[in-house]
A and B are shown apart, each in its own frame.
Chain A
């Protein structure tokens, strides 16, 4: 075949196949668009239900009074979520107070120290991020509830630390590693001690990304049910005592979801709305910090 014939053949084929190719391309891209649209259906359904069913629960009464068990005479009387809000505050606050410093120091250690031990701990943290959270619930139950025969709010905090510390640590480590070497060398060349370099140069430079991890971890932990369900007991009174028992928003939802009364199940939506707003708030905070680090 001469060059000219080849060119002719290719041009003819190209012109002939064009319609088919254009059509199959259009069908394929249409499928992608459909996939994208389908991806929004569950989100729309969840938001619609959570907001639609939940919004009428958002009253001062609901937010501040404690839960009540419906009775045969008043099957709708479920009270409010004041006790669960208090419980959530106590359990999560303690968890955060333990997790943040631990995670940051741990990340600093992984940054400064070399060796197998560090690699092992880091791999463990990375693996923990992906583990089913119920495993941490089981562990906390076995190691604390079984040995003390008691339920405490702070047991839940400790269980949540297993969720938060790995996420915070891995994020903080990446943050520390993203600080430019030149900045660190500048500090060292001034004769600063490693601790000063870390505290006054590396950590401030990495701050925004560290916070990203903190908020991300927290937004995950707030909604966790499985790790704390078995270890914090339950409390229908609003109390802030870490050594007392506690009910949190997710555990209250769980007990309502498996509860006997329709009014309890319906109230799940109200709690879900409060929970979603809380989770979203912290997730958006983390995103703001992500955006900030990307800009700088």
Chain B
């Protein structure tokens, strides 16, 4: 939701073309200097930020070595830095969170725009967007204290029974684990998907709906054949943004994933425990020392690059989509 309430600035971030103002002008020098100073300062801090993360990662790379990406044991205390379980845990939770959040989020957005009275639309979407302002730590508490026991006692045993214990619904059910992580993430990103999809759906010109209706289309046909295809780019943007958010979520997941086990480190079934890149940084931070600490910085850097790229992609998709209807 945060993202949707930020109107993107128009593309020429600087002075719009027609306005001729040179800075600093003679008598306005102090103003110009102030602006330049802050701009430069922030720019320098941004570079320093990148520099610090890169510089402190390097010893981590050297310490952990390439086997980081080929081994499957992550045991921070024993200097075993196989990140595959974390990478797979991140991918697993994000993917299944999207699998749950996208249909529900887009469906809810369509229902808000097309199926409920206009008077209620704002109230209903504000309520769903409330989920986006719940702090991560509260999700962590909800996941660990409410959902974990529910999943462990009811949800997972039920799934196991229904599937007759077949893979991937086999093995021990603890409540904590990948499934719980995916559910918590799904709840966290669903409002993002809903909010942006709703904006995108609302922007579809009314003429298209009316054109389809006047040809004899049913409401379902209008939505499926006309609205959804027109919204594809925008919804892809929303999903990408949600992906970025899910990949980087830390605190909410840190207490619900159960941790990487030595026995079967990779999340190879639905009820497996594990961890994610982001969560593991927070979990291991307490034990941070020397070179091992640099490995965590390296993880942070990987995470930052991936999430930064995904978010940047999402923003350009959303922005391109906004131009489509102008």
Contact = CB atoms under 8 A, between A and B. Distances in A.
Do chains A and B make direct contact within the complex (CB under 8 angstroms)?
yes
B224 A28 contact: yes
B53 interface: yes
A167 interface: yes
A287 B126 contact: yes
A43 B131 contact: yes
Interface in B116-167: 116, 124, 126-128, 130-131, 133-142, 144-146
* B contacts with A: majority SS: helix
A22 B218 CA distance: 7
B255 A110 contact: no
Nearest to B14: A114
B216 A14 contact: yes
A12 B235 CA distance: 37
Contact of B137 (A36, A181, A253): A253
Main secondary structure of the interface of A (DSSP, over half): helix
B153 to A, nearest CB: 15
Interface stretch (A133-141, A148-156, A235-243): A133-141
B97 interface: no
Interface in A253-284: 253-254, 257-258, 265, 268-269, 272, 275-276, 279-280, 283
A112 B221 contact: no
Contacts of B108: 32, 35-36, 38-39
B190 interface: yes
B220 A24 contact: yes
A184 interface: yes
Contacts of A219: 133
Contacts of B38: 102, 105-106, 109
A132 B304 contact: yes
Interface residues of A, number: 104
Contacts of B219: 25, 29
A86 to B, nearest CB: 19
A133 B108 CA distance: 28
B36 A113 contact: yes
A225 B39 contact: no
20 contacts: A25-B219, A32-B223, A36-B116, A38-B104, A46-B142, A50-B138, A109-B38, A110-B39, A112-B15, A132-B249, A132-B307, A138-B300, A170-B6, A219-B133, A223-B138, A250-B135, A250-B251, A254-B251, A269-B145, A279-B133
Given A43-B128, A138-B281, 8 more contacts: A35-B108, A39-B194, A126-B312, A126-B315, A130-B310, A143-B48, A194-B28, A268-B141
